[in-house]
Amino acid sequence: MKPGKMLPWHRQRILLLLGVALLVAAPPLFGYGATPVSPQDARQEFALLSARLRRNPHDVTVLNSLGILYARAGQLNDAIVLWNRALTINPRYIHLYNNLGSALKAQGRVEEAVRVYHAGLAITPSFWIFYNLGLLEKDRGRYREAAQCFRECLRQNPRFEAAAQKLEDLGYVLASQQAGAGIPFKPPTSLENLSLTILERMEGEEGESGEGAAPRPAGAPSDTRRPWRAGGGAELPVTMTVEACAAYLEKMAQGAPTRLVALTFDDGPHPAITPRLLDLLQANGAKGTFFVLGSRAESYPDLLERMAREGHEVGNHSWNHKSLVRQGMAAARADLLRAAATIEAYTNQPCRLVRPPYGHTNAEVREMIHRLGWAHIMWDADSRDWQLSDANQILARTLRKTSPGAVLLFHDIHPGVLRVLPVLLPALRQCGYRFVTVSELIRLQGSRS
């Protein structure tokens, strides 16, 4: 199915109703209230997280993620109970303060929200909390306090232009500030995110690649003289052993002396797959680039922290996998800024790479991304791991387009990547490849030309 097509409305409704019916049939958990009513893949994630919580009722990261699922399904009371419980277990887990404060604010419990934000700031001067406290102070007419919060927010994260915009709105003109449209920050309380993700992914993900559509990373030289013939004259191995794959890769490399490859993983993080993928990369001494969704980053901040800590790069794949082209440029820009701010909050490093969802892009999207000072990144080898269930087929598709300087595309919300990398990584290494992040690839290739 092409990216532009939607499922017929009646099918969307049937799928949604099916999801809801399954939820209603599911037994209630932890005595905190009903299971959150949300579409199906949120339900699977909910099942996975709640099973983890049964194994370890004191897992604060799971309590945090589950609370977000509840809040997005509109069940704020359940979310608040979970986050409060998590705070009694680990009062230093900073993400809880932001989520709890936003939920209390959404319920009109302003004084409680203020107390929660201040308690969080006493632990870590998080720019997110300063920003949200600033919004709250502004809402209740305390403009000086609000301005102070936005200033502190900018001190913590000078790239956070939403705060600069709010300061300007309050009449403070900032020198050297080019504030843009601002980031439409929303507390995690809306169901729209979940329902859109699932329905879009079901119909749209297939459009995320296309034969021959393999633009170079922005800034990469165009004359890398890579063998682009499918197969490079070599025959794919019949049995996908490490040795056979390495021999094939050797032929594809055509004697190139420098062999770099950038592994990229889209659509995560996922609570079960991403940690195993990170283990695999670590075991093979490989660095990769994760193009995450802002909404999923919000649910799994610890996984983003781990990615950054272990030397991986984290790029922006939009807030919730909506096509940037179809959103229109103003909305798409705000969407990317919101995702980038969330990602930077957890990785504590600049997020400068954007991969458009579905690979759906055009000259306007490219220009908008470049104007923000970011790089627009596509891929060379599409593993189709979201579509193919057979590991050998995934491997074959990847191998056919892998040559020095290639950007490889996988998805860390599907298990295929975990079956393929144990063969592919040692094969690449045996063939002399070095695993680099996308930014390193751009830098190194650029310096070669």
Strand positions, DSSP E, 299-343: 313-316
Query: Interface with Zn ion includes 200 (CB under 5 A)?
Result: no
Smallest distance from Zn ion to CB 336, Å: 14
Q: Which candidate in 95, 321, 360, 411 is catalytic?
A: 411
382 is known as an active-site residue = no
Q: Which candidate in 266, 380, 385, 412 is catalytic?
A: 266
| DSSP string for 262-295 | EEEEES---TTHHHHHHHHHHHTT--EEEEE-HH
Q: Which residue blocks in 76-190 are alpha helix, DSSP H? A: 76-89, 95-106, 110-123, 127-139, 143-156, 161-169
Candidate list 266, 380, 385, 412; residue touching Zn ion; CB under 5 A: 266
Q: Are 45 and 72 in contact (CB under 8 A)?
A: no
Contact letters (x/-) for Zn ion, 203-222, by CB under 5 A? Answer: --------------------
List the structure tokens of 251.
């032929």
List the structure tokens of 209.
């690649």
- Going by C-alpha positions, the residue among 155, 196, 193 that lies closest to residue 174 is 155
Query: Interface with Zn ion includes 412 (CB under 5 A)?
Result: no
> Please, which residue, 294 or 357, has the CB nearer to Zn ion?
357
321 is known as an active-site residue = no
- Going by C-alpha positions, the residue among 370, 371, 380 that lies closest to residue 410 is 380
> Please, which residue, 187 or 204, has the CB nearer to Zn ion?
204
Query: Interface with Zn ion includes 335 (CB under 5 A)?
Result: no
Smallest distance from Zn ion to CB 204, Å: 9
Stretch near Zn ion under the rule CB under 5 A, chosen from 47-55, 129-137, 261-269, 307-315: 261-269
Give the Cβ contact number of residue 191 at 10 Å.
Answer: 17
Give me the torsion for CA of 398, 401, 407, 408, rounded to 10°: -10
Candidate list 267, 382, 385, 412; residue touching Zn ion; CB under 5 A: 267
> Please, which residue, 94 or 365, has the CB nearer to Zn ion?
365
> Please, which residue, 267 or 412, has the CB nearer to Zn ion?
267
> Please, which residue, 226 or 322, has the CB nearer to Zn ion?
322
Size of the site for Zn ion (CB under 5 A): 3
- Hey, which residues are catalytic here? 266, 411
Residue ranges binding Zn ion (CB under 5 A): 266-267, 357
